[in-house]
Amino acid sequence: MNAAQAIEEIDKYGITSDILNKEYGISAGTLSNYKKKKKAPSKRQSSQSKVLEVLYYALRLISSHPGVNPLKELRDLRFAENLDLKDLVKKYEKSDIDLIKLTVKETVERKLNEKQVVRALDRFKEKYTYVNDETLEKASEESPDLVQGIVLDENINTLARAHALYALSLSANDEYFSFIKGFVNHSAPLIRESAIMGLYEYYDLEEERHLEVKDSFKEILNHEKAKGIRSKTISLLEQMEQ
């Protein structure tokens, strides 16, 4: 995408020429040239054309997260050394633009994923008031993304996160199988045990998962050290092989 196309797309996010000029250092003359497409493509990008391309890239990334205001989130974003997007491009002007985009992507994903977890927890309490087994089980059917948010929030106590992880499995939603499986090696024994119990729920409810769950349990026994969890895993595996 060239700068002229980027400006057209950026405009759709409500970013006016005035904002581009004042906040991102894109001069009025440059904007006029690009809008009229007088600027011929060049193998060597100018600093301003890089800003435009990276700006559009960042807006697309941010807008892929539901419930966010792309312009507001963009203004709040800070990269290494507390740089905003314009200063980031300026600092690494001589670098390949793909490297700048990689920095933008990593920062956007990290920041917005953190905020998404907070929003998920707030929405959970707003909808269900309390976080307990009953509300978690109900939410796993109605709003599993909110339950996933509880699991991911390290500010919540381990017991609640473990209960949320198990509750997420009760709907046997195929979308969350790999997510639950990813916790069988978690550092917290309670969460590991909940992941194992969750996988067993998939075995119990989905016949096509039988072989995969059995193999997962056998793999768990190869490295699990906690006696209680080993005992539980062996017991469940024996039930599956009956």
pLDDT in tens, 99-151: 899 999 999 888 887 776 677 778 888 999 988 999 999 999 998 988 988 89
* 65 within a domain of the structure (yes/no): yes
pLDDT for 90 equals: 86
Q: Are 236 and 217 in contact (CB under 8 A)?
A: yes
What's the predicted TM-score (pTM) here?
Answer: 0.54
Residue where a domain terminates, one of 114, 144, 163? 114
Query: Domain of 214?
Result: 135-240
53 and 151 in a single domain? The answer is: no
Q: Are 237 and 205 in contact (CB under 8 A)?
A: no
Distance between CA atoms of residues 26 and 20, nearest Å: 6
Q: Are 85 and 54 in contact (CB under 8 A)?
A: yes
198 and 98 in a single domain? The answer is: no
Structural domains in the chain (count): 2
Helix (H) or strand (E) holding 34: helix 28-35
**Is the pLDDT score of 71 beyond 50?**
yes
